[in-house]
Amino acid sequence: MRLGRVTPGAVAPARRMLLAATRKGSEPPGLGAPSPSGQWDSTLKIAIVDESPIRATILEDGLREAGFTQVERIADTRNLLARIYAIDPDVILIGLESPSRDMLEQMFQMSRAVRRPVAMFVDQSDRAAIQAAVDAGVSAYIVDGLKKERVTSILDLCISRFNAFARLQAELDHAKGALEERKVIDRAKGVLMKAKNLTEEQAYALLRKTAMNENKKIVEIAQSVLTAAELFQ
């Protein structure tokens, strides 16, 4: 099942901004920026998860009055993750009256799996539940604040926080990747220095020259050097 990915910073219609399919466990996506007028695109697909018709209606009315037309309600939370994947929403709003620990954990598991902006409305909570929500990636955890007039502002907060976290995560992943590549290159230099009696600068120059000749990245050549060295051990 497809979960669309939206790139940060774009202002094209949200459903057109679903540039690449992602599945459970893939990189977290980001939602595009609002229009110059400060409004999110009305074509955002929003899922409401709430067993209470009254609470769900409050959320739905607030969204539709703000111009959002693609709003889907999930009243039955059985097989929730499968239902979310089937709808493929851009944003998920969850309403819980007096959630049990089991119910909260189910919602948190869903939030971790789908990697979408999630706003959760609860009537009561405690510090442990709030921390668990943060750990699960819930973008907005609202206690006793379900009012139709607040829905769109909370939606703004939810998406903005999600995008900010997505950018930080992408930067962290990039930094980790660069560090791992540097480790591979350093190990390959050590192999060449020992095998060919080269200095560190000469070993790196050889890796770089080979990469240019073969039109590959230096880290790819370095990995090949390490693989070959392991074969001859």
pLDDT (0 to 100) of residue 10: 34
Q: Rounded to whole angstroms, how far apart are CA atoms 30 and 116?
A: 8
Average pLDDT over residues 44-62: 91
CATH number of 176-231: 1.10.10.10
Q: Decide which of 102 and 7 is more confident.
A: 102
User: Residues of CATH 1.10.10.10 domain(s) within the chain?
Assistant: 176-231
Q: Record the tokens describing residue 185, joined without a space.
A: 């290159």
Q: Rounded to whole angstroms, how far apart are CA atoms 72 and 52?
A: 14
Range ranked top by mean pLDDT from 39-48, 115-124, 134-143, 167-176? 167-176
pLDDT (0 to 100) of residue 222: 95
With bands split at pLDDT 50, 70 and 90, how would you rate the model's confidence at 147? Answer: confident
Measured N-to-C along each axis, helices 218-231 and 151-196 cross at an angle, to the nearest 10 degrees, of 50
pLDDT (0 to 100) of residue 33: 54
Average pLDDT over residues 215-225: 95
Radius of gyration of the chain (CA): 24
pLDDT (0 to 100) of residue 95: 87
Q: Rounded to whole angstroms, how far apart are CA atoms 90 and 32?
A: 11
User: Residues of CATH 3.40.50.2300 domain(s) within the chain?
Assistant: 3-171
Q: Which amino acid is at 75?
A: A
CA 57 to chain centre: 28
Q: Record the tokens describing residue 107, joined without a space.
A: 């919602």
pLDDT (0 to 100) of residue 200: 95
Average pLDDT over residues 178-190: 96
**128 Cβ neighbours under 8 A, 6+ residues apart:** none
pLDDT (0 to 100) of residue 103: 78
225 dihedral zone (left: phi>0; alpha: psi -120 to 50; beta): alpha
- Indicate the class that CATH gives domain 3-171: alpha beta
pLDDT (0 to 100) of residue 35: 52
pLDDT (0 to 100) of residue 21: 30
